[in-house]
Amino acid sequence: MFSQACKYAIRAVLYLAVHASKGKKLGVKEIAAALDVPKYFLAKILQQLSRNNLISSAKGPSGGFYLSEKNVEASLKDVVECMDGPDVFNACILGLPVCSSENPCPLHIQAFAYREGLHYQLKHQAIGDLAKRIEREEQKI
């Protein structure tokens, strides 16, 4: 479903949402260690997210990554689309050129339900709210 880069991106954003803030920025090294993820690869991913204004960063000593108030209001859908492109949630599961309920492939019904369920949650839940649930329910990232 998601590329490796996208998985790391989601986890990193959620980790930032839970553990960082404007006052407490986190460096790549810390995040990579916490998530057990390749450091330099994660650096690239954070760069890309930062360029697209999905996370915030500061250079220099006491610099690092965090989520601004604006960032916290975005959704994971934005993160996913930033990493894997805009078609992740529209593509036919069999790779056929178009996915449509009018002219469905044999797996469309189930695949569409799955995809839309996920899509809906990712789209309509703010990263900040998701982070609160993670803390409340002590979920792993």
When the beta carbons of 27 and 104 are compared against ligand FES, the nearer one is: 104
Burial class (CB in 10 A: 0-12, 13-18, 19+), 111: middle
Query: How far, CA to CA in Å, does 111 sit from each of 10, 19, 61, 86, 125?
Result: 22, 34, 47, 18, 21
Which residues ranging from 34 to 73 are in contact with a copy of itself (CB under 8 A)? Answer: none
With tokens 């960063």, the residue in question is 57
Residues 29-68 as x/- pattern, contact with DNA by CB under 7 A: x--------xxxx-xx-xx--xx-----xxxxxxxxx---
Q: In this complex, which beta carbon is closest to ligand FES, that of residue 34 or of residue 105?
A: 105
Closest separation in Å from C-beta 18 to a copy of itself: 10
Exactly one of 47, 105, 123, 128 binds a copy of itself (CB under 8 A); that residue is 105
| Residue 5 is a binding residue for a copy of itself (CB under 8 A) | no
Report the residue from 12, 14, 28, 82 that binds DNA according to the rule CB under 7 A: 28
- Residue 12 token pair: 């990193």
- Give the shortest CB-5-to-a copy of itself separation in angstroms: 11
Residues that bind a copy of itself (CB under 8 A): 1-2, 4, 7-8, 10-11, 14, 76, 93-96, 103-107, 110-111, 113-115, 117-118, 121-122, 130, 133-134, 139-141
